[in-house]
Structure 1
């Protein structure tokens, strides 16, 4: 009966059983973090594209429309699953001034709720673009 009292090798056996579980948990956390970071980077790019599109236009209405169109298209092409996307354009369209675009949306983080992290997160990105100093005026001059 003395062989039951011998504990040699029990730590190695426990490590062998727990190591795959711990590795899987770390991989899952890394995937969730990657999804959040990737969505933020893509949203930053979308905001820059929308700001550039807005800075090219001559009227505020057309600037808002262009920024919204570009942002919607770029979000779809980037593969970001955004719900209720919102695009705000602020700034004067006079040559030399700046246009600022804010793009915000609720990003879906699939599978994150298993870790106790919310399944979606509201992200926002701001980008500014300078209106070309040497562009023609609204009346074509």
Structure 2
């Protein structure tokens, strides 16, 4: 149910079509054409309540939503298919790459590991650490924690 001023363009066109009038033009032209036709039929435009078929409007909306959903499902399936195909291609390319490069990199890594493991590890006994001096800028219990942490 709607009043005259609340009518939208499709509703105006439908009312004009029912009366056998032209349905082209701007909204203001459609309104004035419908107003004149209703006044010619002795209908009070301001008090008349238009009965709109809600079922038609809701079915159109539902059809649009269903169409969107089905196209989105197709799009998602297409995307998943493309992703799996690309994944297969990439894994194939990785397997086909030259193995001499991998062997060279592996030998470099193992030689560097051997160098690092052959170097002597510095013990804490040989490290010279300057003990902190208490100058009174920090509380004594903080100084004690720092001192104990160095010499443990």
The interval holding the TM-score normalised by the smaller chain is 0.3 to 0.5
Point out the structure with the larger helix share. 2
Q: Looking at both structures, which has the greater relative contact order when contacts are Cα pairs under 8 Å and sequence separation is at least 6?
A: 1
The structure having more radius of gyration, on CA atoms, is: 2
Point out the structure with the larger strand share. 1
